[in-house]
Amino acid sequence: MTKFFVICSLCFFLPIQAQKLTSFVNPFVGTKNMGHTFPGATAPFGMVQLSPETNQEPYAIDGKYNPETYRYCSGYQFEDKTIFGFSHTHFSGVGHSDLGDFLVMPTTGKLNLEPGKIGEPKSGYHSQFSKNTEKAEPGFYEVFLDDYGIKAELTTSERVGFHRYTFPKSGESHIILDLMSNIYNYDGKNVWTFVRVEDNQTVVGYRETTGWARTKKVFFAMKFSKPFKNYGRKRYEKVEYNGFYRKFNENENFPEFAGRQIRAYFDFDTEKDEQILVKFALSNTSTNGALKNLEAEIPHWDFDKVKAETSAKWEKELSKIEVETLNENDKKTFYTALYHTMMSPILYEDVDGKYRGLDQNIRESEGFTNYSIFSLWDTYRALHPLYNIIQPKRNNDFVHSMMAHYDQSVHKALPIWSHYANENWCMIGYHSVSVIADAIAKGTTDIDLNKALAAAINSSNLKYYDGIEDYLKYGYVPEDKSSSSVSKTLEYAYDDWAIAQIAKKLGDKSTENLYLKRSESYKRVYNPKTGFMQPKLSYANFKKEFDPMDTHGQGFIEGNAFNYGLYVPQNVPEMIKMMGGKKKFSKHLDEIFTTEIADKYIEKNEDITRDGIIGNYVHGNEPGHHIPYLYNWTGDAWKTQERVRMIMRKMYSAEEDGLCGNDDAGQMSAWYVFSALGFYPVLPGSVEYQIGSPLVKSAKISLENGEFLNITTENQSEKNVYVKKILVNGKEVKNHVLKHSEIANGGEIVFVMSDKH
């Protein structure tokens, strides 16, 4: 008995090990039949995203766009049972794509350098796999390749992918490096590839591609834990001229090869359960840069150490928000969403600070860390505002990276949608100004405000960009001059308001007034006869053929007049007044959520599917993300609370199809994180957040200044979706508005919940 009590007393004093937050993340969560997120290994905001490719769909077939390629924007679909290899660069569920660089695939048996087809086992080097062998967690991925009896494990540091392959006994074991494989691939995407075999364990090189990023150059350094016995390559394009390299047999054991279409291989003898490890470092500057990155980040061969270190990095980042929820599924959904907000932008410089600039020259960051992948039409709405709470120092680096882009731009413009030292000009607006204005308003950036204002003004006056010349001439974008004219007018008007806020901060009254006037451009595309924002022609008449339900040819991009037509976040009260007053506007919002949209209105748009629609409200795409919060201006805040809670329940889960639309570099997930905490930034660039209906029971947010913001909910339950009372630092809030100053230095928010509104 004495021994029993001694043991119990010791147990009593031992600290209870809290469950790791990484265990609540499901990396497989993505979108059904759309651009899935990638489930592979990456460090937070890491340059390397090492993930499986489960199919290889070309961008076009017989010269026509192949719709199936859209499903593989991130290279992966959960229901697939085939793996073609593991590549090192990916986007996280965006609606267009690129990347998929440097695909590595281990095989055994007779060498086959053809990838094969997904429905034809043994037709190429791809392998079948069973879903029950596939495992993923932040910073780690594992799968068993059935066709070869090989266990594949992946982890990463920020700049280095680390592979561990456990082979069967074989005299014909191979590791293939496919330098032709791309996401959104087509003939001509590869511009050039160059490879050097430095010794029997070290390979370096680069690949240049043209695609969404018109001129993308990525360098690599590849090291094997075991010397290879043979190596070679096959070159697939027709070679018109090969100079005096015709003297050599370049296909086998020749230490340098170059061309547009190349696959390489490295041969080994392996014993049963022998492990071959591969370190694969990236750089955007040079092979020397890649070697430096490799040596600095993973100088050893301890795979488990790197896995543990990257897991710890994820744990640190996820721990910035600690939540308690009504059930474990909600906790998994929350941390999976938070995980998705930290997959991009990505680190885009070597360990010595060197990076490839927009002008394709090698630059060196000074006083900031350079990042790339800015999906700004999406992420300015909630992702960057979230960073201003939980990642302010990193967001300051993002802002400096945008300013560096401006410095290097021959157009003297801030980024629109940029990645890998390229501007791809995707989507509309000039939303860098929103990100910059939001960071300035919330005091999280140290950029030169005068230079920021000059950059914003230059971007807003780039006449040859997307209808801006006509926007300046007419005060709106005419539909007969530029498609998606209403969307452009509304987005430009909001961005102009953001520029006015930068000018206001500087005390530049004339510029502030000019851009405030420009920010009213939305009024020129409102038709009081129809009650909708509507495309207007250059001779001042509204387009006659108009259907507010249609998403095609009606002046909007990826949306319709019901949804996108309510995008006036800079002056919601004026929009409501213009549209008939609070009562009528509230009914209009009701109609959005309750009116079923017919298939014919969405069938032409890849980005909008039934999975992301409630009535006519499209949550699966970004332009309407603010709409549920607009009831706060109509006196019906309870409807905001009801709708927000409903959307969180219907549009998000911890299952593999738990996102209702493309994550779009984290914006879809950022909406959930904010909304689950109980507030949302309807107007980035201001210091205000709109109150919704928190889903968490409690949350503790660790701020970078060492303070904590504590959120608690009283009477939280599935039925208690309505906010009866809000206390911020002990003071009751009456107007459903939370100010950044009330949370920036920590404090407490208390939501008192009820089942009655």
DSSP assignment of 277-293: EEEEEEESS-HHHHHHH
Is residue 84's pLDDT more than 50? yes
* CA neighbor of 194 nearest in space, from 286, 111, 293: 286
How big is the CA angle at 528 (ends 499 and 484), to the nearest 5 degrees?
A: 50
Q: Quote the tokens at residue 511.
A: 């510029």
C-alpha–C-alpha distance, residues 717 and 697, integer Å: 8
C-alpha–C-alpha distance, residues 684 and 599, integer Å: 33
Domain-wise residue ranges, the chain: 22-316
Which residues, at least 6 apart from 463, have a Cβ–Cβ distance to it below 8 Å? 469, 472
Query: What pTM was estimated for this model as a whole?
Result: 0.96
* CA neighbor of 90 nearest in space, from 658, 663, 659: 663
Q: Which residues sit opposite 83 in a β-bridge?
A: 127
User: In the prediction, which pLDDT does 608 show?
Assistant: 79
User: In the prediction, which pLDDT does 11 show?
Assistant: 37
Does domain 22-316 match CATH 2.40.50.180?
no
* CA neighbor of 196 nearest in space, from 135, 142, 280, 258: 258
User: In the prediction, which pLDDT does 601 show?
Assistant: 86
Q: Give the pLDDT band (50/70/90) at residue 156.
A: very high
Tens-place pLDDT, residues 533-588? 999 999 999 999 999 999 899 999 999 999 999 999 999 999 999 999 999 999 99
Q: Quote the tokens at residue 591.
A: 């109609």
Is residue 13's pLDDT more than 70? no
Is residue 692's pLDDT more than 50? yes
User: In the prediction, which pLDDT does 14 show?
Assistant: 37
Is residue 462's pLDDT more than 50? yes
User: In the prediction, which pLDDT does 9 show?
Assistant: 35
User: Would you say how long the chain is, in residues?
Assistant: 757
User: In the prediction, which pLDDT does 603 show?
Assistant: 79
- Is it true that the peptide bond before 345 is cis, omega within 30 degrees of 0? yes
Which residues, at least 6 apart from 132, have a Cβ–Cβ distance to it below 8 Å? none
User: In the prediction, which pLDDT does 695 show?
Assistant: 98
Q: Are 755 and 722 in contact (CB under 8 A)?
A: yes
Is residue 3's pLDDT more than 70? no
User: In the prediction, which pLDDT does 607 show?
Assistant: 77
How big is the CA angle at 161 (ends 135 and 171), to the nearest 5 degrees?
A: 80
Please write down the long-range contacts of 60-69, taking CB distance under 8 Å and 24 or more positions apart: 60/186, 67/606, 69/184
Is residue 7's pLDDT more than 50? no
Is residue 368's pLDDT more than 80? yes
Q: Are 270 and 167 in contact (CB under 8 A)?
A: yes
Q: Which residue has the higher pLDDT, 13 or 70?
A: 70
Distances from the Cα of 4 to the Cα of 12, 13, 14, 489, angstroms: 12, 15, 16, 75
| Average pLDDT value for the chain | 95
C-alpha–C-alpha distance, residues 466 and 428, integer Å: 7
Tens-place pLDDT, residues 694-747? 999 999 999 999 999 999 999 999 999 999 999 999 999 989 999 999 999 999
Tens-place pLDDT, residues 619-670? 999 999 999 999 999 999 999 999 999 999 999 999 999 999 999 999 999 9
Q: Give the pLDDT band (50/70/90) at residue 606.
A: confident
Minimum mean pLDDT range among 5-14, 51-60, 253-262, 300-309: 5-14
Q: Are 93 and 30 in contact (CB under 8 A)?
A: yes
